[in-house]
């Protein structure tokens, strides 16, 4: 592992904004964005589309749906059990790490959902069988699985919008969301749907793909922070240590104002040469944006602990944020009386944001939203 270099947090935040495709703006494809961000959270499709649009100089309506239809990206349950857009060729690695914890075999999971590990094995196998040569809506999938298993107790869980029982099947590559023309959810097997799908590697091999990808976008970071992003911190500590130890020749540790963290060795020089961003570097980012989700709302370098509840809200909602010089400086929401206008709530303790760059950021967001809404 390379020797430790000293870096400042302002340098880190400016580097992350660049690595997160926020500054400077280019025209990356939906696939490029999903790959760089280690997935785009897509639990709320409109937020996912906006997260993509704010990273493109020329966003276009329907780009996300077109990428899904073309198989450029796939939509499935991944990190933290939430729906993400992922590049199909690397998706198996992310899913393999989710599956590695075997969460559905834990007593707490069985007690909550009433499905034993043996039943989960049969359910996953059956889902793969019924999706072998067809795309099915949720109702059709429930009916087909029920016909084969005769397990009526599973029906409520299979129909649940949260997909708790379907997630382990997704993590094992038995299903993913299929593109549809309407509002109904549909499922397919990724190996039948996606030409670039590579299957699930072994977890140790998967870690050599996912950890470097994460550090390229959200480093420097500790192993614990990576796991908080991945599984909300449930990976076995010995397993986590082994994954990082296996990458020893690719990693460096850097000192960030007294905190030691991992970075890819090839990125140290670039980060050390990065100049801090000015307070005029202002961005309005949508709900669930990965600039926040990547390091997490517990990352004090981007968010003051006292403000965490204002960003991480009830029912897992991550608020739209105002970013200034890489830190969360406030929140924004569509005005309740006029959705075309924004209500901006800047934090009192945040450094003052000049009016001109804030106005420019508001105008930029309006331009992106208008482009996404256009026919």
Residue that has been written with the tokens 């947090």 in this structure: 9
Query: Looking at 28-32, 212-216, 351-355, which range is the least confident one?
Result: 351-355
- pLDDT band at 162, cuts 50/70/90? low
Whether the per-residue pLDDT at 375 is higher than 70: the answer is no
Query: Looking at 34-48, 89-103, 131-145, 281-295, which range is the least confident one?
Result: 131-145
> What pLDDT does 16 receive?
98
For residues 59 and 368, the answer to whether their CB atoms sit within 8 Å is yes
Answering whether pTM is above 0.75, one says yes
Q: What is the pLDDT of residues 261-310, one digit of tens each?
A: 999 999 999 999 999 999 889 999 999 999 999 999 999 999 999 999 99
Q: Mean pLDDT across the stretch 173-201?
A: 93
> CA 91: distance to chain centroid?
12
> What pLDDT does 178 receive?
96
Whether the per-residue pLDDT at 337 is higher than 90: the answer is no
> What pLDDT does 269 receive?
97
Which value, to the nearest 10 degrees, does the dihedral of the CA atoms of residues 174, 183, 83, 50 take? 140
Q: What is the pLDDT of residues 266-278, one digit of tens each?
A: 999 999 999 999 9
> What pLDDT does 216 receive?
98
Whether the per-residue pLDDT at 161 is higher than 60: the answer is no
């Amino acid at each position: 592992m390379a020797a430790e270099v000293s870096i400042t947090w302002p340098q880190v935040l400016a580097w992350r904004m660049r690595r997160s495709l926020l500054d400077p703006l280019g025209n990356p494809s939906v696939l490029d964005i999903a790959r760089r961000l280690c997935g785009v959270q897509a639990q709320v499709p409109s937020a996912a589309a906006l997260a993509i649009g704010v990273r493109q100089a020329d966003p276009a309506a329907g780009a996300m749906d077109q990428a899904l239809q073309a198989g450029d990206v796939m939509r499935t349950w991944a990190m933290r059990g939430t729906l993400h857009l992922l590049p199909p060729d690397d998706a198996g690695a992310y899913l393999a790490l989710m599956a590695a914890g075997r969460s559905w075999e834990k007593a707490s999971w069985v007690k909550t959902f009433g499905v034993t590990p043996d039943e989960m094995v049969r359910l996953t196998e059956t889902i793969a069988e019924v999706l072998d040569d067809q795309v099915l809506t949720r109702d059709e999938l429930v009916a087909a699985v029920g016909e084969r298993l005769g397990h009526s107790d599973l029906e409520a869980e299979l129909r649940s919008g949260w997909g708790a029982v379907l997630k382990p099947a997704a993590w094992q590559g038995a299903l993913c969301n299929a593109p549809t023309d309407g509002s109904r959810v549909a499922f397919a097997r990724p190996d039948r749907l996606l030409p670039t799908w590579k299957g699930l590697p072994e977890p140790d091999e998967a870690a050599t793909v996912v950890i470097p990808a994460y550090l390229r976008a959200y480093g420097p970071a500790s192993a614990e922070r990576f796991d908080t992003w991945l599984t909300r911190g449930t990976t076995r500590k010995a397993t986590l240590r082994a994954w990082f130890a296996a990458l020893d020749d690719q990693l460096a540790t850097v000192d960030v104002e007294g905190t030691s963290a991992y970075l890819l060795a090839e990125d140290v020089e670039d980060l050390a040469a990065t100049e801090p961003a000015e307070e005029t570097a202002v961005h309005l980012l949508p709900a669930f944006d990965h600039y926040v989700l990547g390091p997490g709302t517990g990352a004090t370098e981007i968010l003051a602990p006292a403000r965490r509840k204002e960003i991480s809200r009830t029912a897992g909602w991550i608020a739209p944020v105002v970013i200034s010089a890489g830190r969360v400086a406030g929140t924004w929401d569509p005005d309740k009386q006029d959705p075309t206008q924004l209500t901006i709530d800047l934090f009192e303790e945040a450094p003052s944001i000049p009016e001109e760059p804030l106005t420019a950021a508001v105008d930029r967001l309006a331009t992106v939203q208008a482009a996404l809404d256009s026919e």
